[in-house]
Amino acid sequence: MEKKAYLQQRTGTRQLAVVGMLSSICIILGMTGYGFIPLPTAKATIMHIPVVIGAILEGPVVGMMIGLIFGLFSIFQNMTAPNILSFAFLNPLVSVVPRVLIGVTAYYAYHLIKTENQMIRIGAGAAVGALTNTIGVLGMLYILYAAEFAKARGINPETVLKVVYGIATVNGIPEAIISVIITVPIVMAIKKARRA
């Protein structure tokens, strides 16, 4: 009984340490600008990757906690360095909820894939987590702020869905690919180190 309690306490401590470490990485990526990779047509974010890694390694609750920190930091960024869309990102439904959901979708994508190949399972979790971020944020932006988005971007309100879909495609696919490329070796290395 004492051994079980000790193991539970040790696991809880490790999970809190993982939340703290990966949340810090998320914030550093955002503050330094390293969380954005310039592409020919857009900037791909990698700030969701710590959320995905935490979820795959430690479970959905850990992933959700890191996602919460990511989302709250997004609000903070839009308060301190506003841009034309900051009005939307100050709403937690746009900036926090999709980021919390990354932890859930990445974890279950990883666990529901029925294969022994760890790289495929991790890759699936990474891709689904990245797409959750892109689709969740842009979807909420469209649902809640379509008219304001059109006004801020200076576009016809009737074309908002096409524009949002275009952004999701141009950003979402590269972000998913980059997420897989970065997440798979990191998670594989951590899993190997834990077995050693």
pLDDT at residue 40, as a whole number: 60
Kindly report the pTM of this predicted structure. 0.88
Provide φ and ψ at 56, rounded to 5°. Answer: -65, -40
Dihedrals φ, ψ of 36, to 5°? -125, 125
Nearest-angstrom CA–CA distance, 13 and 21: 12
Tokens standing for residue 105: 């979708």
If DSSP codes are grouped into helix, strand and coil, which group holds residue 66? helix
Is 98 in contact with 64 (CB distance < 8 Å)?
A: no
Please, what are the averages of pLDDT over each run of 10 residues along the chain (196 residues)?
A: 55 83 90 77 80 96 94 91 89 96 97 93 97 95 93 90 91 93 95 84
